[in-house]
A and B are shown apart, each in its own frame.
Chain A
């Protein structure tokens, strides 16, 4: 396990994560405004990639083209990858979602799945079932040396472009007139209308922005991997949607964080030695112990009424927390039937079981430090990590952007 390897794996994971993030933003923005999952969003991404690829192919550039020509072609491809998905997103919203708005939630959901299937078939009909492949370009294969590690320039471009777009989007939503209209619409559509906001326009705008980001994602994927298949949008869409949920659905920074966590997990899980991964388990265990031993008792102490607050009482509470598993086992062995005690005892035992499990996992990983997990397990690892995170934080890493209705 060299520094070079870790470095290139990290950059790889970040790149994948940023692409998921670009797509995830579309899911999360639409969810924020309409409380509805736009399952056709993955196909909008694919269309963006296809349109970009066919623009590059039509312009006939290859490895030997002068860089000015390549730059112009990429700029045109970018334009196509933004405009076509935007138009597509707009049309989808107009004909498949808007007429169904206000119906029971399952109806637009079905419509979205239908649109997704239709789009996939349309891609096959228009572009053919074979994956589209673009010629290798100098810009795609260029690499720079970074602390002695060779890194593809394109990976850095993807990370930089995505980060810039996300900052721009955050500014858009936070500080502009249309951004305020979006937030108002997402909180209370009727009230927003009665404050003079054209909600139909605001929703259409949300689809335009989300689709443009997905289109740019499509272009970047085509440039990075050199090819794209008609059904790519399904898996990318699913992963992006997962990222949005992982970070907290409806939450824009959450989507980015969730996507990076997912991208990193996928890449790290199968690309580094168990001995290195074990440290993440150790970190998780440390975090868990910190929450159990410090955070939880502090939260409990904050609730004590002032007149009951004595140093001795506080210490006894801390002891109950610190020794919860010990008390738990003692209580279970003594077969106490006291309801409250048995609940806290069961909780203590569960916590300890969790801690022991993590410790054993870490120990096994350290024992097989030089082993690496087979690539075929990649989705399983990602899924397991996802489950663990959502088990402890059901609303996602940064929390859902839920509207508090009074």
Chain B
């Protein structure tokens, strides 16, 4: 199995705080890897490092053996890393459809003047984009059908906003999909549905790195789990192995609970 993403001893500090400390791991092709860990353990910082928002102090991040560390976020996206956000960041004043179309920015090329003149090449591209957007929105049956696509994103329910973020991230056919707490704030039925969708995405060939707190979802979809605490990887392996690791239990529940299970 070849590695899609490889982190090599990545570190990042904010002032005196080491948010991520010599973190190394890989994500293989067509694999779902989950990162778990208590709040403040450096999970989202890791995502921000991978997606180019921060530049690592040391270490390297490789996407298909090519370094993306310190690249501008838009260039990282061009290379094929697409993400969703823990706190939703849709373009709320734009329509559902437009949000997906914006997600295609790096895979389209229509020039401004060509667009203004509506040249045939532009019209072809627009048609292809529209079809592609329909295909992606169709992956969420009944959620974004018909007139709903033209409503502004702020009119969507919370769960649908989460779904739309995933749709927007999928629009560029990413090599690697980063999902930051995809089921946060959802009820059990909704999170179960998203879980099934994530599995379906793997079956269609996507590679996914996910941050999630909902252990039910983590257990259900992950091929591998990485546990972090204080910026350090403390365990890695199958869900069962990581969930029963004394260090992980300690990070979540404290020393006494860890001793009790040991």
Footprint of B on A, CB under 8 Å? 168, 171-172, 175-178, 180-181, 183-184, 187-188, 190-199, 205, 401, 403-406
Contacts and interface: CB of A to CB of B under 8 A. Distances in A.
A177 B110 contact: yes
Contact of A187 (B92, B115, B161): B92
Interface stretch (B27-35, B71-79, B252-260): B71-79
Contacts of A205: 112
B77 A195 contact: yes
Contacts of A199: 74
B183 to A, nearest CB: 17
Contacts of B103: 195-196
A178 B112 CA distance: 7
Nearest to B107: A196
A196 B78 contact: yes
Contacts of B77: 193-196
| Prevailing SS type, chain A contact patch | helix
B154 A406 contact: yes
B74 A197 contact: yes
A302 B202 CA distance: 49
B106 interface: yes
Nearest to B171: A195
Interface stretch (B5-13, B94-102, B221-229): B94-102
26 contacts: A171-B116, A176-B112, A180-B98, A180-B105, A181-B105, A184-B91, A187-B92, A191-B85, A192-B102, A193-B72, A194-B52, A194-B53, A194-B73, A194-B76, A195-B74, A195-B77, A195-B102, A196-B77, A196-B82, A196-B103, A196-B172, A198-B72, A199-B74, A205-B112, A401-B93, A406-B161
A183 B153 CA distance: 13
A172 B85 CA distance: 29
A184 to B, nearest CB: 5
Given A188-B91, A191-B91, A194-B73, 16 more contacts: A171-B116, A176-B115, A180-B98, A183-B94, A187-B91, A193-B53, A195-B74, A195-B106, A196-B105, A196-B106, A196-B172, A197-B106, A401-B93, A404-B92, A404-B154, A406-B90
A187 B116 CA distance: 23
Contacts of B116: 168, 171-172, 176
A400 B91 CA distance: 16
Given A194-B73, A196-B172, A177 B105 contact: yes
Contacts of B161: 406
Nearest to A174: B98
A197 B94 CA distance: 16
Nearest to A175: B115
Contacts of B98: 180, 183
A188 B165 CA distance: 14
A212 to B, nearest CB: 12
Interface residues on B, range: 35 or more
Interface of B: 51-53, 72-74, 76-78, 82-83, 85, 87-94, 98, 101-103, 105-106, 108, 110, 112, 115-116, 154, 161, 168, 172
A197 to B, nearest CB: 5
B112 A180 contact: no
Contacts of B168: 195
Nearest to B169: A195
Contacts of B105: 177, 180-181, 184, 195-197
Contact of A176 (B110, B154, B172): B110
A205 B108 CA distance: 18
Given A178-B112, A178-B115, A197 B89 contact: no
Contacts of A194: 51-53, 73-74, 76-77, 83
Given A190-B73, A194-B52, A194-B83, A177 B115 contact: yes
A191 B74 contact: no
A184 B171 CA distance: 15
Contacts of A187: 91-94
B93 A183 contact: yes
A102 to B, nearest CB: 13
A194 B105 CA distance: 11
Given A187-B92, A194-B51, A177 B73 contact: no
Contacts of B76: 194
Contacts of B115: 172, 175-178
A336 to B, nearest CB: 43
A339 to B, nearest CB: 36
A184 B102 contact: yes
A175, A184, A190 interface centre (most CB from chain B within 10 Å): A184
A164 B53 CA distance: 40
Nearest to A183: B94
Contacts of B52: 193-194
A404 B88 CA distance: 12
Given A194-B73, A199-B74, A180 B92 contact: no
A311 to B, nearest CB: 34
Q: Which 10 A-B pairs have the closest CB atoms?
A: A196-B106, A196-B77, A176-B115, A193-B73, A191-B89, A177-B110, A187-B91, A194-B73, A196-B105, A198-B74
B9 to A, nearest CB: 24
Contacts of A175: 115
Given A172-B116, A177-B115, A178-B115, A197 B91 contact: no
Contacts of A176: 110, 112, 115-116
B93 A197 contact: no
A197 B103 CA distance: 9
Contacts of A193: 52-53, 72-74, 77
A293 B243 CA distance: 66
A404 B93 CA distance: 7
Contact of B53 (A190, A195, A405): A190
B154 A183 contact: no
